[in-house]
Structure 1
Amino acid sequence: MRKNPQENAETHARVTRRALLLGGAQLAFMGGLGLRMRQLQLNQADQFRLLAEENRINIRLIPPARGEVFDRNGVVLARNEPAYRITLVPEDAGDVDAVIGRLSSLIELDPGELEAAATEMERSPPFLPVTIADRISWDELSRVAVNTPALPGVTPEVGLSRFYPLRGDFAHVVGYVGPVSDYDLSKIENPDQLLRIPRFQIGKVGLEGKLETSLRGKAGTKRVEVNAVGRIMRELDRREGQQGDDVQLTIDQSLQSYTQARLGEESAAAIVMDCRNGDLLTIASAPTFDPNLFVEGISVADYRALTDNDHRPLAAKSVQGTYPPGSTFKMITALAALDAGIAHPEQTVWCPGHLEVSNRRFHCWKRAGHGHVNLAQALRESCDVYFYELALEVGIDKISSMAARFGIGQRFDLPLSGVASGLNPTRNWKNQVRGADWVVGDTVNVSIGQGFVLTSPLQLAVMTSRLATGRDVVPRIVKSINGKDMPSAPAERLGINEAFLNEVRRGMYEVSNHRRGTAYGSRIIEDGLRMAGKTGTSQVRNITAAERARGVTRNEDLPWNRRDHALYVNYAPYDDPQIAVAVVVEHGGGGSKAAAPIARDITLQALYGGQPPLAAYPAKDRKRIEEQQEELRELLPGRNITRRDRV
């Protein structure tokens, strides 16, 4: 049916309106799209160009060279050495097993490292390098480099790794580095991105650990071009980082090495301190270990050998170990009584071999007693009863106060692991920690360095330095950082009457130089170098009344771990104090027998700056000392120190 003209006109009008609406919408859409494209291409072009550039160019960190460590004379104690390794990119290698087979015909491959590499390949993208052989020799690296055309994906690489040329001599002082662990990262709130670099080494213990931030340095950067999957295509530029700070110690390498050799395999510690300025010249603990074992991660067998050793080679006994000071504490008791006006140097005490206190018998080491003794005689012969009597009159408060002035119970701020504070007991301490009141028997025990009092070899050396000088000498171990001297703390007067100090020093002099002195057998006979000292023996077990009745068992007849500790402290020369020495031999028996001979030998080595003449020793000992010196020379590393190890 044909539409009339009016209907056709209406239909045409509707179509025209719809076309206009649709065209307008399309025009608006195209206009908006054009405006958006204009904004993206012109207004935001720089932003998107930067995003594209960042997707193509990556910033990578360059590990800095670690700062090195030197002794006071410039001998290198910790240095960086080239570390050669072989890496493999699985994607480039193709048949990985075939390439490793050809590589094994050139160098010996460790099965453990290959197993670790296989595990790493399974969890890493195929374009990332995996270490196949680490710490190989230069010859092995050269053989691989020459044959790289036949080893697709294999790359010989050179990096830096830590090395300790003196091995065990400084293990407890310098410490060691090792690979960063999850535990290391957990201890740091915002870890440096350097620490996330595979196989990056971080200080674990000792100076390496305590000065980690300073020694580590600052990372460098390099810009590399990568493809869509993240593989490096080329290096665009690099900015080198900042090497870590070099650290120079106060330690004297030759004296430290001698002391370690002299201690041998004893479970022992020794400190040598310059009592004029507090410089620590030796911090030795024995037995020791090779810190190089830890640099790349120690094996289970090696670590178990160290931890199973009952002499505890991993322990830095010189600063971490705490021991009852025994009779080396008697100078403190004497000064407390003199300072309080309770004692007089010539006043005598009767020693019958014991003292009854509160229905308990406190024994002297000499069962028959010493008879009448004054201060010098009591120190010289180490009479216990004399100091029991002083302690009963002066009391624990004054003894503790005097001990604090000499550094007992003080934790010294040194960049070493686990520096102990020891224990200077007081009434409040016992009440708060032990939940009990202080009793008179506690004071009697403390007066001879037994009971609750505990000291480290470091504290004993500080105590001796302060006795020698009358000043509050503070120990230090860092001499300079990057060539900038670290100043010594000023040593102020202790405020103790010099006459009292001289009386105590006279008693210490007689310990080593009087025929009845407990260390007379370990004296120095060179007039200008004579030393003043004090022996000490601290019990590690209780002696029952029944055992005393039948006779106290000799240390030699006891198991090693039940024998007494042996101690000796001294300073020299007596007339012009230069050094103070403290020696502790764990379960060594008597101080005069085990510790004093070691301290005498170390003292002479320090005063002479090397091997002393035989004339400095008593005539009867010279043959034995000559043989000992020859044996020690064979152990010393000095002849193995090359020019490279000195600066």
Structure 2
Amino acid sequence: MKRSARDDEISRIRIGRRGLILGGVQLAVAGVLAARMRQLQVEQADEFRLLAEENRVNMRLIAPARGRIIGRNGRLIADNGQNYRVTIVREEAGDVEAVFDALQRIVSIDPLDLEAARREIERRSRFVPVTVAERLTWEELSRVAVNAPALPGITPEVGLSREYPLESDFAHIAGYVGPVSDYDLTEGYLAEDEDPLLQIPRFQVGKTGVEAKREHALRGRAGAKRIEVNASGRVIRELGRDVPVPGADVQLTVDEDLQHFATVRMRDESAAAVVLDVRTGDVLACASAPSFDPNLFTRGISVANYNALTGNEYRPLATKTVQGQYPPGSTFKMLVALAAQQDGLASPGETVYCRGFTELGNRRFHCWKRGGHGYMDLQESIEQSCDVYYYEMAQRVGIDRIAEVARLFGMGEHFDLPLSAVRDGIMPDKAWKRARHGQSWRVGDTYNASIGQGYVLSTPMQLAVMAARLASGRMVAPRLVRAVGDEQLPVPESAPIPLGSEHLQRQREAMYAVCYGARGTARRSRIVGDYRMAGKTGTSQVRNITAEERARGVTRNDQLPWNRRDHALFVGYAPYDDPRYAISVIVEHGGGGSTAAAPVARDIMLNALYGGIPPIEAYPSDQHGRIQAMYDELPLRGTAAAAALAAGIEVSEA
């Protein structure tokens, strides 16, 4: 049917109107798009350019070289050695097991290391390098490098690993490092440490000793490198880097040769020895025996080696010098005497009769000498170590005053040393027993405390401090760190001990008589020649002796199982007329202090006085043969062995 002209006109109008509307909509959309493009390209250009750059460039941390630990004389205690290792990137390797098989035909790899690498590969992204083997030899690394085209994804690398050149000598002081663990970050000493270095796989931190206590100084600061990556995260190239800041070196006060000698001298015992500089408090030796090689831990200790250490009844992993707490025995008696003299309750010439025991109610408190010592004055009671004299003095003075004086000499004092598990010991008094045990203090407790038994406990470090303070008359405190980086740490001033100097001098004279008196308990361990030593022996009981056993005769230590024998102790200082060194020695279950601890202390003290092995003339003439035989058997090494030869003493160098 033919359309009319009017219908055509209406149709044209409708089409034109619709075209205008559609054109307007298109124009509006184009305007919005243009405005948004302007906003993105002009107004927000910098923001999106930064986002694009961050997607293209990644930052990766570079671990710094760990600071070294250095001895007093400059020898390295902890160092960083080159560590030749092999890593694998899973996405580049393809068939990982095939690559492992090929790698094993080139170098020998521990199956445990391969299994650890497999677990790590599963945990990490495909493009993250995973260590397959480390501490390879240069020849092994070279073989891997030469065969690299046939080992897809394998990269030979050179890193740094902790080494302890002096091995067991400083194991308990320096400690060791190990990979940071979840425990370290959640409950350990790094729980609040936000250093990103701690998130690096296998990053090593201090686990014990100075390594742990000076972790932040030794660790250094991380560097960073900027790398270009593609969309999948694969590294394309390195764009730049910020060099890491190495950790600070830490220098200790410990003399390397003296420490070596002390460790070797006690090698067959479960023992500890501490030597202090009387004038500064510097710790010159701090040896626990037996020791262990810390390199075993940094290299990955085997189950067999670890079980051998933990199963040893001599406890080689324990830092006995600050962690071991022992009854001080008769080494405590000088402090009881000081308390009595200071309060005017005893005079030097006054005597107490010892018949072998004293009675308190229906109980007897025995002297170590069954038949008694007879009449004893102050000097004789120290020289011969009479117990009954100190039962009497303690009853006069009381435990609270004894504890007050003993704390002036380091008993029960906490020393802030960078060592693991530093213990405070126990110096009890009436309030302590009431708070700890809910019981009243008894006179019998005072008797026991007066001879360094009962509740009294001390560490070898505290006993060395006691000897140093007796020798100097000052509140000497132990110091283990000499310098951090380029900063020399100041030696703190030590205040005078607030006791009468004449009372202190009487204790020194009595300690001299212990070594040189006709009946001195350490006379066999005296020093002759250029120097003289003052000291005090001690024997601390670790088992109860029944009345029945006393009646039939106390069983000798050498007839008892090792772990039921008495501990042997010795404290002292030298030279007597100008004190420079103070020493404490404890031999666990060694028996008597005069027979087990005093000879060890004498040998270590002589080494300190002479700066090495002393001349044979420093020993009593009737002991020369035995002393020469002892040095023949000591496995000394390095400068200690050379010093022995210079002194005319032959040794078998290890």
Task: Give the TM bin, normalised by the shorter chain.
Answer: over 0.9
- Give the drift of 1:231: 1.1
Q: Counterparts of 2:641 and 2:126 in 1: how far apart (Å)?
A: 49
- Give the drift of 1:148: 1.9
In the TM superposition, what are the counterparts of 1:207-606 in structure 2 within 5 Å? 207-526=210-529, 528-606=530-608
- Give the drift of 1:628: 1.2
Give the partner amino acid of 2:223: G
In the TM superposition, what are the counterparts of 1:26-175 in structure 2 within 5 Å? 26-175=26-175
Q: Counterparts of 1:72 and 1:110 in 2: how far apart (Å)?
A: 39
Do structure 1's residue 628 and structure 2's residue 637 form an aligned pair? no
**Are the aligned partners of 2:275 and 2:581 in contact in 1 as well (CA < 8 Å)?**
yes
**Are the aligned partners of 2:613 and 2:640 in contact in 1 as well (CA < 8 Å)?**
no
Deviates most, 478-487 or 570-579? 478-487
3-state DSSP class of the match of 2:388?
helix
Partner of 1:645: none
Deviations 1:568-626 (A, max 9, x none): 00000110000000000111111001000000000000000001011110111111111
**Are the aligned partners of 1:354 and 1:364 in contact in 2 as well (CA < 8 Å)?**
yes
Taking structure 1 as reference, are residues 326 and 137 closer, same or farther at Cα in structure 2, changes over 3 Å only? same
Q: Counterparts of 1:470 and 1:427 in 2: how far apart (Å)?
A: 27
Give the partner amino acid of 2:55: N
**Are the aligned partners of 1:377 and 1:507 in contact in 2 as well (CA < 8 Å)?**
yes
**Are the aligned partners of 1:185 and 1:191 in contact in 2 as well (CA < 8 Å)?**
no
Q: Counterparts of 2:124 and 2:477 in 1: how far apart (Å)?
A: 53
- Give the drift of 1:98: 3.4
- Give the drift of 1:95: 3.7
Deviates most, 130-139 or 632-641? 632-641
Give the partner amino acid of 2:254: I
Taking structure 1 as reference, are residues 639 and 524 closer, same or farther at Cα in structure 2, changes over 3 Å only? closer
Deviations 1:149-198 (A, max 9, x none): 33232211000000000111000000000111111121322431111112
- Give the drift of 1:313: 0.5
Deviations 1:334-368 (A, max 9, x none): 00000011000110000011011132210000010
Q: Counterparts of 2:294 and 2:194 in 1: how far apart (Å)?
A: 25
TM-score for the superposition, normalised by structure 2: 0.95
- Give the drift of 1:14: 5.1
**Are the aligned partners of 1:261 and 1:635 in contact in 2 as well (CA < 8 Å)?**
no
3-state DSSP class of the match of 1:525?
coil
Deviates most, 10-19 or 224-233? 10-19
RMSD over aligned Cα, in angstroms?
1.8
Partner of 2:618: 616
- Give the drift of 1:639: 6.6
Deviations 1:446-492 (A, max 9, x none): 11100101100000000000000100001101111113211111011
Partner of 1:199: 202
Partner of 2:652: none
**Are the aligned partners of 2:70 and 2:252 in contact in 1 as well (CA < 8 Å)?**
yes
Q: Counterparts of 2:401 and 2:193 in 1: how far apart (Å)?
A: 48
Give the partner amino acid of 2:447: V
Q: Counterparts of 2:193 and 2:47 in 1: how far apart (Å)?
A: 30
Q: Counterparts of 2:568 and 2:402 in 1: how far apart (Å)?
A: 23
Taking structure 1 as reference, are residues 310 and 321 closer, same or farther at Cα in structure 2, changes over 3 Å only? same
- Give the drift of 1:304: 1.2
Give the partner amino acid of 1:430: K
Partner of 2:649: none
3-state DSSP class of the match of 2:544?
coil
Q: Counterparts of 2:343 and 2:427 in 1: how far apart (Å)?
A: 19
3-state DSSP class of the match of 2:333?
helix
Deviates most, 399-408 or 292-301? 292-301
3-state DSSP class of the match of 1:242?
coil
Give the partner amino acid of 1:476: R
Q: Counterparts of 1:265 and 1:202 in 2: how far apart (Å)?
A: 32
3-state DSSP class of the match of 1:85?
strand
**Are the aligned partners of 2:383 and 2:521 in contact in 1 as well (CA < 8 Å)?**
yes
3-state DSSP class of the match of 2:539?
strand
Deviations 1:279-327 (A, max 9, x none): 0000000111110111143222221111111111110000111100000
- Give the drift of 1:99: 3.0
Deviations 1:188-209 (A, max 9, x none): 2243111111221100000000
3-state DSSP class of the match of 1:302?
helix
Q: Counterparts of 2:395 and 2:15 in 1: how far apart (Å)?
A: 122
3-state DSSP class of the match of 1:584?
strand
Deviations 1:489-524 (A, max 9, x none): 101111211111111111100000112000111111
Taking structure 1 as reference, are residues 444 and 480 closer, same or farther at Cα in structure 2, changes over 3 Å only? same
Count of matched residue pairs: 640
**Are the aligned partners of 2:385 and 2:521 in contact in 1 as well (CA < 8 Å)?**
yes
Q: Counterparts of 2:212 and 2:642 in 1: how far apart (Å)?
A: 27
Q: Counterparts of 1:206 and 1:470 in 2: how far apart (Å)?
A: 30
**Are the aligned partners of 1:261 and 1:632 in contact in 2 as well (CA < 8 Å)?**
yes
- Give the drift of 1:637: 7.8
Give the partner amino acid of 1:104: Q
Q: Counterparts of 2:14 and 2:398 in 1: how far apart (Å)?
A: 118
3-state DSSP class of the match of 1:529?
coil
3-state DSSP class of the match of 2:458?
coil
**Are the aligned partners of 1:257 and 1:637 in contact in 2 as well (CA < 8 Å)?**
no
Deviates most, 324-333 or 15-24? 15-24
Taking structure 1 as reference, are residues 638 and 66 closer, same or farther at Cα in structure 2, changes over 3 Å only? farther
Taking structure 1 as reference, are residues 175 and 392 closer, same or farther at Cα in structure 2, changes over 3 Å only? same
3-state DSSP class of the match of 1:132?
strand
- Give the drift of 1:6: 6.7
Partner of 1:644: none
Deviates most, 375-384 or 224-233? 224-233
Give the partner amino acid of 2:349: E
Taking structure 1 as reference, are residues 636 and 520 closer, same or farther at Cα in structure 2, changes over 3 Å only? farther
Q: Counterparts of 1:639 and 1:64 in 2: how far apart (Å)?
A: 37
Q: Could you tell me the percent identity over the aligned residues?
A: 58
Deviations 1:52-81 (A, max 9, x none): 111111111111000001111101100000
Q: Counterparts of 2:135 and 2:223 in 1: how far apart (Å)?
A: 24
Give the partner amino acid of 2:622: K
Q: Counterparts of 1:535 and 1:139 in 2: how far apart (Å)?
A: 56
- Give the drift of 1:85: 0.6
Deviations 1:5-59 (A, max 9, x none): 7776666555544443333232212101110011101111121111111111111
Give the partner amino acid of 1:379: I
3-state DSSP class of the match of 2:634?
helix
Q: Counterparts of 1:94 and 1:36 in 2: how far apart (Å)?
A: 45
Deviates most, 109-118 or 157-166? 109-118
**Are the aligned partners of 1:166 and 1:637 in contact in 2 as well (CA < 8 Å)?**
no
